[in-house]
Amino acid sequence: MTGAERKPRRRMGPAGSENWHAMLDGAEDVLREEGHAALTSRRVAERVGVKQRLIYYYFSTMDELVVAMFRRLSERELARLAQAAGSDLPMRHIWDICIHTADARLTAEFMALAARIDGLRKEVIRFIEESRRIQIAAIERAAARSGAAQVMPADCLALIATSLSLTLIREEQLGVEIGHQPARALVEAIFERYEPS
């Protein structure tokens, strides 16, 4: 195909603009409150108060919007984790982020969408791996500072902590409490070993 035959790329709205962020905010609200089945350009446009075609001025497809929404959230979360990792009690601060600010509903919706949106799946993997590296480094530093023998490999402990925090959040939102207090006590015991208060 020659240059003259190529279809010109259509003009897109600027990423990072006020409208761009408003659309991602609206999409995030729809996803959290109504689920991924309701996440349509029409629904997002209604939520934001714009015409539906404006969504496609900023995003070529709804899949692109979803990837941008997740990337924006993950970049914020990685920055928070990195800041916590640099604190005096990194393990405790990272746990606090995981247990008090994670949105179990939103996480479940993104995981469902990642099964069918390849770009989102790649972003989810990138986020999980980067956040895990931050957690592992924090655990290793805490262990070295305290001089405590590690209870298990740092990567294993990071995986268990992430999984446990998500499970606790999901179950508490449903009203399940069995086993939660002993699990939290175990986490506190591990903190006392690595980061004595």
Q: What pLDDT shows up at residue 15?
A: 85
What Å distances lie between residue 170 and 103, 104, 124, 151, 196, CA to CA?
Answer: 9, 6, 19, 26, 28
CA distance 183 to 5: 64
**Domains, in order of start, for the chain:** 10-60 (1.10.10.60), 62-194 (1.10.357)
23: left (phi over 0), alpha (psi -120 to 50) or beta: alpha
> What integer pLDDT is reported at residue 7 of this predicted model?
53
Neighbours of 167 (CB within 10 A): 15
Burial class (CB in 10 A: 0-12, 13-18, 19+), 58: buried
What pLDDT was estimated at residue 102?
A: 66
Q: Which residues contact 27 (CB under 8 A, 6 or more apart)?
A: 39, 44, 47, 65, 66, 69
The pTM score is 0.86
Q: What is the pLDDT of residue 46?
A: 96
Give me the residues of the chain with pLDDT under 70, please: 1-11, 102
Q: Is the CB of residue 128 less than 8 Å from the CB of residue 77? A: no
